[in-house]
Amino acid sequence: MDHFLYKDGVLHAEDVALTEIAAAVGTPFYVYSTATLTRHFQLFDDALAGMDHLVCYAMKAASNQAILKTLGDLGAGMDVVSGGEYARAKAAGIPGDRIVFSGVGKTADEIRAALTGGIRQFNVESEPEMQVISRVAVELDVTAPITIRVNPDVDAKTHAKIATGKSENKFGIPISRAREVYAMAAALPNIEIVGIDVHIGSQLTQLAPFEAAYTKVAEVVEQLRADGHNIRRLDLGGGLGIPYTRSNETPPLPSEYGAMVKRVLGHLDCEIEIEPGRLIVGNAGLLVSSVIYVKQGEDREFLILDAAMNDLIRPAMYEAHHDIVPVLEPAAGQEQTKYDIVGPVCESGDTFAKGRDMARLASDDLVAFRSAGAYGAVMSSEYNSRPLIPEVLVNGSDFAVIRARPTFDEMINRDTIPMWLA
């Protein structure tokens, strides 16, 4: 469920008409619903009720500080994967003891910043990383809390580019080596082992891969405890999918996921951390764009929008589907037209949909891309010297620009001409 509904023939974000926002900030823009963010976080928090747990939002999905603060004020922790994300989380007021640092390539400087500013744990991905964390912790005379990410070699049955739990993926250590690597960690100075981490991929639409991975992790917990390690925390990653179409996708509900976690892992008496991103913010955001032209091709019509692949790269990168709807509600029974929906970037890959059935549209009409809150704004770029587009947060009948569109001068003035060209 989201809070983007037609009211009086106009698509609204909560109680604000998208036409009102478009008039105020111009198109294209991203818009997020506070009510949807709140509801989706609460679904996960409720799903783990009765277990000691922390929901750590995977902020790589959408990292605007207003979104982080909205979730942080609800009690969310943050899962970060870079020094920049760590700094963003701290700037949004998230305390260090609610920040988990993941990622395969943490640098010594990033580790130092987190140990200085406060960290709940590092999710360690390799032996060399573990050694660097130990070295930096010794330099700072602090103790670094860690989990070690195990790779369970489980097929997440998702897009190859977002699968992370197979043996050929770059993430984690082979689960078969867990006891050996944990013994190495225990021997390192200034390292405190607090648990185990696992994450098998993103946009999973079945519970079976999760259960297979968590069953393997449960066995390893028992082995590591027998070896003398105090395993008291399980970081289960994220990955639960969302419905990108309104017709045939029915991913598991957070409540069903929570019930499975309790059944498979509840006997271990561990604190549970989960790191949802897409499910919290995906359907909490839209991309709104204007039609520039309707172009008649040889055998098709093109709907040319002012949004482009630099604004929303998921269709070009992952062949991803987004429902695209008119902002003005079509009349019941209105005849549909097939469009190839494209952007203005000079790439054939700048295509959002082919042969998509839509009500007939004209120049200056508005359309909205549904389920665009996750991996939209955060993956955008200034390709073709196109400015990053605004982000807007709605709360009831109020809205605010939470990232402004830069001017051409602001973009261009970031460049520096070397003295020999001046």
Which residues are designated catalytic?
A: 346
Q: What is the dihedral of CA 397, 39, 312, 200, to 10 degrees?
A: 170
Q: How far apart are CA 161 and CA 155, in angstroms?
A: 13
Which of 335, 375, 417 has the alpha carbon at shortest distance from 63?
375
Q: How far apart are CA 60 and CA 342, in angstroms?
A: 26
Q: What is the DSSP string of 255-291?
A: HHHHHHHHHHHGGG--EEEE---HHHHGGGEEEEEEE
Residues 46, 255 contacting (CB under 8 angstroms) = yes
Backbone torsions φ then ψ of 167, nearest 5 degrees: -65, -25
Strand residues in 297-418 grouped as ranges (E) = 301-305, 324-326, 336-342, 351-359, 366-369, 391-395, 398-403
Q: How far apart are CA 45 and CA 76, in angstroms?
A: 9
Please name the residues in contact with 266: beta carbons below 8 A apart, sequence gap of 6 or more. Answer: 51
Strand residues in 125-264 grouped as ranges (E) = 144-151, 173-174, 191-197, 233-235
Report the SS3 class of residue 397.
Answer: coil
Tell me whether strands 398-403 and 391-395 are parallel, antiparallel or unpaired: antiparallel
Residues 154, 165 contacting (CB under 8 angstroms) = yes
